[in-house]
Amino acid sequence: MPTDLSDEERELVRTVRDFVDRDVRPVARDLEHADTYPEGLIERMKELGVFGLVIDEPYGFGRVSTPCYAQVTEELARGWMSLAGAMGGHTVVAELIAGYGTQEQKEGYLPHMATGELRATMALTEPGGGSDLQAMRTVARRDGDDYVVDGVKTWITNARRSGLIALLCKTDPDATPRHSGISVLLVEKVDGLTVSRDLPKLGYKGVESCELVLQGVRLPSTAVLGGVEGRGFAQMMRGLEVGRIQVAARATGVARAAFDDALRYAQERETFGKPIWKHQSVGNLLADMGTQLTAARQLLMHAARRFDSGSRSDLEAGMAKLFCSEMAMQVALSALRIHGGYGYSTEFDVERYFRDAPLMIVGEGTNEIQRDVIARRLVDAGLPDA
């Protein structure tokens, strides 16, 4: 646990850790295999205050530091990555409203979001756009004092259960440069907004990922985040800094679960008269896994502290997301190899880690895009400060 957490933050992390060990891990396998929405676990997360971690007073219970937020996310993902996903997009939307919203938007949404009574998600990706957000086709056209929105968004987590959507769209399709015509609209469930289908997935079960169709959705001008058009791209890029830290923390949690299971199994399982960890090939895997996990945690905490400094942190967040997600995939594979045939069995959790880990590689901007962003930022600014 990072040494710079306050006593209250340390207690929060311990409470979430206990919740994961007591309530999540015993049921996660069955819920995941049945692809069942974890209603009871989500309710308990609301009680713990997990949905209000980035919402400060007077709208919430007090904002925690980003290192604390990352630790809570890691603990949830250690139990079941889908639980961390259930609060990930919600947190980004809360961050956006807290940082850029009008007074009316803050007062109207944040108190209900802090308790989890109102849950939020963000809608960025489009079927033909992927990580190229500036190529989006969802458009909000002015009609008097209103906007009329048409478009399609995909891979929207919690789309059926969220009451608020932060929608990235074009309010000026002809703007030059293109990003200056992009805005974030705060969309509640209204006529013309349809959750068209749930997308089938390799992993990340339990919580839904959906396609949204907007046909003639009418919104008031007050739906623009911050009340001013054309600032949405910059706003969302700042929101994605914490989003990528969250994904890095999810990956670290999955890797930690895989490592813990593999380390325990390697001590219990014996072949040729000794525990398998004493065989050099298995011991080497464990050594690499532990080293990679420790390095990932340090990079994650560095990005979290950088975000809290108020400085631009897209480079650090991107590095953490890239490294932690690739590490999680490698650690999950190594854990499967250590378990041998049992790692391929649905009776062990290792196969779930192996199916969940790829999401962090392609989610919140693919790692291929991350590498491009990192390279550009390194050319512009050089290595980040230690």
Residue 386 lies in a domain: no
The answer, yes or no, to whether residue 131 has pLDDT greater than 70, is: no
**pLDDT for 2:** 62
Give me the percent of the chain exceeding a pLDDT of 90.
Answer: 91
Q: Return the sign of the alpha-carbon dihedral for residues 246, 250, 253, 259.
A: negative
Q: Return the sign of the alpha-carbon dihedral for residues 166, 172, 174, 177.
A: negative
The answer, yes or no, to whether residue 157 has pLDDT greater than 90, is: yes
Encoded tokens for 132? 């190229």
| 364 is known as an active-site residue | yes
Q: Name the residue range of residue 162's domain.
A: 121-230
Mean per-residue pLDDT, 255-276:
97
Mean per-residue pLDDT, 108-129:
94
Angstrom distance (rounded) from CA 49 to CA 76: 13
* Number of domains the chain contains: 3
Encoded tokens for 292? 């990679």
Helix H or strand E segment including 152: strand 146-157
Give me the percent of the chain exceeding a pLDDT of 70.
Answer: 97
Residues 370 and 244 in one domain: yes
Mean per-residue pLDDT, 111-139:
88
Residue 316 lies in a domain: yes
What are residue 283's phi and psi, to 5 degrees?
-60, -40
Give the rounded distance of the alpha carbon of 204 from its chain centre. 12
Which among 8, 316, 364, 368 is annotated as catalytic?
A: 364
Mean per-residue pLDDT, 120-133:
83
**pLDDT for 168:** 96
87: domain CATH number is 1.10.540.10
**pLDDT for 386:** 62
pLDDT band (50, 70, 90) for residue 130: low
Residues 237 and 374 in one domain: yes
- Cβ atoms 288, 347 nearer than 8 A: no
- Per-residue pLDDT tens over the stretch 29-47: 999 999 999 999 999 999 9
CA 234 to each of CA 74, 293, 309, 378: distance values in angstroms, whole numbers, following the listed order: 27, 32, 18, 20
Mean per-residue pLDDT of the chain: 95
Residues in CB range of 322: below 8 A, 6 or more apart: 367, 370, 371, 374
Residue 252 lies in a domain: yes
Residues in CB range of 227: below 8 A, 6 or more apart: 102
CA 258 to each of CA 142, 286, 343: distance values in angstroms, whole numbers, following the listed order: 51, 11, 10
Residues 373 and 245 in one domain: yes
Residues 100 and 135 in one domain: no
- Per-residue pLDDT tens over the stretch 338-384: 999 999 999 999 999 999 999 999 998 899 999 999 999 999 887 77
Residues 131 and 203 in one domain: yes
pLDDT band (50, 70, 90) for residue 254: very high
- Per-residue pLDDT tens over the stretch 182-200: 999 999 988 889 999 999 9
- Per-residue pLDDT tens over the stretch 218-234: 999 999 999 999 999 99
Transcribe 159-196 into DSSP letters: TTT-SEEEEEEES-TT-SSGGGGEEEEEEES-TTEEEE
